Amino acid sequence: MKLALFGASGKVGRNLTRQALAAGHEVTALVRSLKADLPEHPNLTLVVGDVLNPEDVANVVDAKDAVLVALGAPLGNKEGIRTKGTAIIVKAMKEAAVERLICLSGFGAGESRGALPWLYRFLIMPLILRHVYADHEQQEVLVKQSALDWTLVRPTNYVEGPQTNDYRIDFKAVEKGMTFKISYANVAHFMLSQVRDRTFLHAAPSLSS
């Protein structure tokens, strides 16, 4: 399949790129610089540009089968990069008649906030991750209102680790035995699987080991 990827230079994005290429997909990724830590591959096209530039985004989205969004920003960033970038991506998808969107969010956004452990809900979220989740909340609203074939992906805490393909999907509350962590590689594995799998169409499944 022909895939457009935004956020390719982040940790989830780099794993998405490698896994997509290994699976035989053609990937076009928007990057700020060709210095992005991405593999050289005949099926990888890097487009230097800005996710806040509609023309750059449209060039990446055009003639693709699906779009993967893994945008990120520093913890203290208040600029709403995820929301602003996703709004431009959604508009470009509609104009190009590209329907499938898989968008990275986080466990604790939307209705999943009430399922957070006490420490996260009352300390970590409001004190450390406040700007991150304010951005995700607005991003999710845009995606849900887009009328596209969307899936939002809500991982718990990221950790470095291998791709095991063994993790919990779509849990509604923290369960006994859960680590409340998931590797970047496994998040990428699930996102990539949704390119063809419609099980979670118009849904926001949670992920954790």
pLDDT at position 73: 87
Q: What is the pLDDT of residue 190?
A: 98
State phi, psi for 174 to the nearest 5 degrees.
Answer: -65, 125
Domain boundaries, the chain: 2-208
pLDDT at position 49 is 97
State residue 84's pLDDT score: 98
This prediction has a pTM of: 0.95
The b/e string for 22-48 (b: 16+ C-beta within 10 A; e otherwise) is eeebbbbbbbeeeebebeeeeebebee
pLDDT for the residue numbered 60: 98
Write the CATH number of the domain with boundaries 2-208.
3.40.50.720
Burial class (CB in 10 A: 0-12, 13-18, 19+), 171: middle
Return the residue matching tokens 């790129």.
17
Q: What is the pLDDT of residue 166?
A: 93
Q: Cβ(4)–Cβ(68) under 8 Å?
A: yes
pLDDT along the chain (209 residues), means of 10: 97 97 98 85 97 98 98 86 98 98 96 86 83 94 98 97 95 86 98 97 97
